């Protein structure tokens, strides 16, 4: 199966190879034969020398130059951003920034207080990061000895494997079923057999937008493994966040982000809810100034305009439904129902995802094959 996500994407699935080809997954392929080491390469940790180079997505400015179009004329959908952007209060607050020569608050106190008010989870359970991406890496750095394992349930967000590779962890793969639901028995068996430290779950899942049901989550929470529930797209789901569950489940971490809901992907602000028994160790290991002054000010300003955030969410959800109907009418596409701000499509009938990407790009809309 080839797949194309529209409405924001960073993933492709190929059933023939069983590999995922996302913005950060390509480097799991090892280079064919190790080249002789340059003398300075001996300084690099051996497991990092084995990683194939990282293939980044095309930066917006480069894309704009390549297409000969102004950035404002391009609809960029290949990293699941929020094309409506942040509330106007964000730009106003950034324009008034002072004291940029002073380091930011290492505890992001203002933002954590605002998040507590927004989410109903007390600030002492909340830690803010340079995107949810940073928190995924921080969790691994705090939990995994080299050679210890995580469970990954592909197709899913490729950063879990990316960070596992960098941290020298093993990846136990328990693929999702054909309908993208979790294979809970498979996870249970993998936990018994491999004793992984952490399982990464994503709801709504990237790339398909499916939700994890409460019964499955509760079943997995009974297992002797730390569960990281990534809710980057939960605002578009019509399902409530499980952020406050971290108060009653000692083995649960819930991750959220400002990138999607608040249109702040460029400023890099994510946050997590943690049990108190775990969060104290993450505080010890995090970089002191991981959230910039601009990022904290912007996130606080975004939370002040909840009306705008609700309106944008409603607009994205209604556009998603409209788009789903339109995609159903395209003979060579089979869209999957989504609870996120993107739609995954199987590409069929002689069309390929790669061909389609070229066509769509020609019309100044950036999607992933
Ligand atoms: C499931 C999932 N989690 C986390 C992220 C990254 O979030 P952030 O921008 O806060 O690093 C993404 C980004 O696409 C994602 O798809």
Q: Which of 360, 358, 357 is nearest to 368 (CA)?
A: 357
Give the pLDDT score at 137.
98
What's the gap in Å between 210 CA and the centre of ligand 1?
15
What are the φ and ψ backbone dihedral angles of 172, each rounded to 5 degrees?
A: -95, 125
Out of 111, 133, 139, 258, give the residue to mutate to test ligand 1, the one with the largest number of ligand atoms within 8 Å of its CB: 133
What's the gap in Å between 62 CA and the centre of ligand 1?
22
Query: Burial code of 101-113, b = ≥16 C-beta within 10 A, e = fewer?
Result: eeebbeebeebbe
**What is the dihedral sign for C-alpha 10, 209, 212, 307?**
positive
Give the pLDDT score at 302.
98
Give the pLDDT score at 173.
98
Q: What is the 3-state secondary structure (H, E, C) of the chain?
A: CEEEEECCCCCCEECCCCEECCCCCHHHCCCCCCCCCCHHHHHCCHHHHCCCCCCCCCCHHHHHHHHCCCHHHCEECCCCCCCCCCCHHHHHHHHCCCCCCCCCCCCCHHHHHHHHHHHCCCHHHEEEECHHHHHHHHHHHHHCCCCCEEEECCCCCCHHHHHHHHCCCEEEECCCCCCCCCCHHHHHHHHHHHCCCEEEEECCCCCCCCCCCHHHHHHHHCCCCEEEEECCCHHHCCCCCCHHHHHCCCCEEEEEEHHHHCCCHHHCCEEEECCHHHHHHHHHHCCCCCCCHHHHHHHHHHHHCHHHHHHHHHHHHHHHHHHHHHHHCCCCEEECCCCCCCEEEEECCCCCHHHHHHHHHHCCEECEC
Give the pLDDT score at 250.
98
Alpha carbons 10 and 77: distance in angstroms, whole number: 9
Average predicted confidence (pLDDT) for the chain: 89
Alpha carbons 175 and 190: distance in angstroms, whole number: 11
Confidence at 364, pLDDT banded by 50, 70, 90: low
CB 255 within 8 A of CB 270: yes
Ligand 1 neighbours by CB, cut-off 6 Å:
10, 79-80, 131-133, 157, 202, 206, 230, 232, 257, 259, 265, 270
Alpha carbons 32 and 98: distance in angstroms, whole number: 52
Q: What percent of the chain has pLDDT over 90?
A: 75
Pairwise pLDDT comparison (338 vs 77), residue with the higher score = 338
Weakest mean pLDDT among 45-59, 74-88, 93-107? 45-59
Confidence at 33, pLDDT banded by 50, 70, 90: low
Give the pLDDT score at 12.
33
pLDDT of 24 above 80: no
What's the gap in Å between 252 CA and the centre of ligand 1?
18
Q: C-alpha angle 161/202/223, rounded to 5°?
A: 85
Mean pLDDT, residues 86-110 taken together: 97
What's the gap in Å between 41 CA and the centre of ligand 1?
31
Burial of 79 (0-12, 13-18, 19+ CB in 10 A): middle
Burial of 358 (0-12, 13-18, 19+ CB in 10 A): exposed
Q: CA 145: distance to chain centroid?
A: 23
Weakest mean pLDDT among 24-28, 97-101, 260-264? 24-28
List pLDDT tens digits, range 282-300: 999 999 999 999 999 999 9
pLDDT of 189 above 80: yes
Confidence at 11, pLDDT banded by 50, 70, 90: very low
Give the pLDDT score at 134.
98
pLDDT of 255 above 90: yes
Give the pLDDT score at 59.
82
Mean pLDDT, residues 258-277 taken together: 97
Give the pLDDT score at 31.
56
Mean pLDDT, residues 132-143 taken together: 98
pLDDT of 32 above 80: no
Mean pLDDT, residues 237-242 taken together: 93
Weakest mean pLDDT among 5-19, 49-63, 191-205, 247-261? 5-19
Alpha carbons 79 and 62: distance in angstroms, whole number: 15
Confidence at 58, pLDDT banded by 50, 70, 90: confident
Mean pLDDT, residues 310-322 taken together: 97
pLDDT of 169 above 70: yes
Give the pLDDT score at 350.
85
């Amino acid at each position: 199966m080839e797949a194309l996500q529209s409405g924001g994407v960073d993933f492709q699935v190929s059933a023939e190879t069983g590999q995922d080809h996302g913005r950060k997954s390509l480097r799991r392929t090892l280079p064919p034969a190790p080249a002789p080491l340059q003398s300075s390469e001996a300084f690099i940790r051996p497991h990092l020398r084995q990683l194939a180079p990282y293939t980044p997505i095309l930066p917006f400015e480069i894309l704009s130059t390549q297409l000969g179009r102004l950035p404002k004329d391009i609809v960029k959908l290949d990293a699941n951003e929020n094309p409506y952007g942040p509330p106007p209060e964000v730009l106003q607050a950034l324009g008034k920034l002072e004291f940029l020569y002073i380091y930011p608050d290492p505890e992001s106190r203002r933002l954590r207080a605002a998040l507590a008010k927004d989410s109903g989870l007390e600030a002492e359970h909340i830690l803010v990061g340079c995107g949810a991406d940073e928190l995924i890496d921080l969790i691994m750095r705090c939990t995994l000895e080299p050679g210890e394992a995580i469970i990954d349930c592909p197709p899913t967000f490729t950063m879990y494997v990316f960070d596992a590779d960098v941290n020298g962890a093993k990846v136990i793969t328990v693929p999702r079923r054909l309908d993208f639901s979790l294979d809970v028995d498979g996870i249970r068996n993998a936990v018994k057999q491999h004793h992984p430290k952490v399982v990464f779950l994503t709801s709504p899942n990237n790339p398909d937008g499916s939700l994890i049901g409460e019964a499955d989550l509760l079943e997995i929470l009974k297992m002797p493994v730390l569960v990281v529930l990534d809710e980057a797209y939960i605002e578009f789901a019509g399902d409530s966040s499980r952020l406050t569950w971290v108060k009653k489940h000692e083995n649960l971490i819930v991750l959220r982000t400002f990138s999607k809901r608040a249109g702040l992907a460029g400023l890099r602000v994510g946050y997590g809810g943690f049990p108190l028994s775990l969060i104290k160790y993450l505080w010890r290991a995090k970089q002191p100034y991981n959230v910039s002054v601009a990022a904290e000010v912007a996130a606080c300003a975004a939370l002040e305009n909840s009306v705008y955030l609700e309106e944008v969410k409603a607009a994205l959800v209604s556009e998603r439904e409209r788009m789903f109907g339109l995609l159903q009418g395209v003979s060579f596409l089979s869209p999957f129902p989504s609870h996120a701000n993107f739609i995954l499509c199987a590409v069929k009938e002689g069309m390929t995802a790669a061909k389609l990407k070229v066509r769509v790009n020609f019309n100044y809309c950036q999607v992933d094959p």
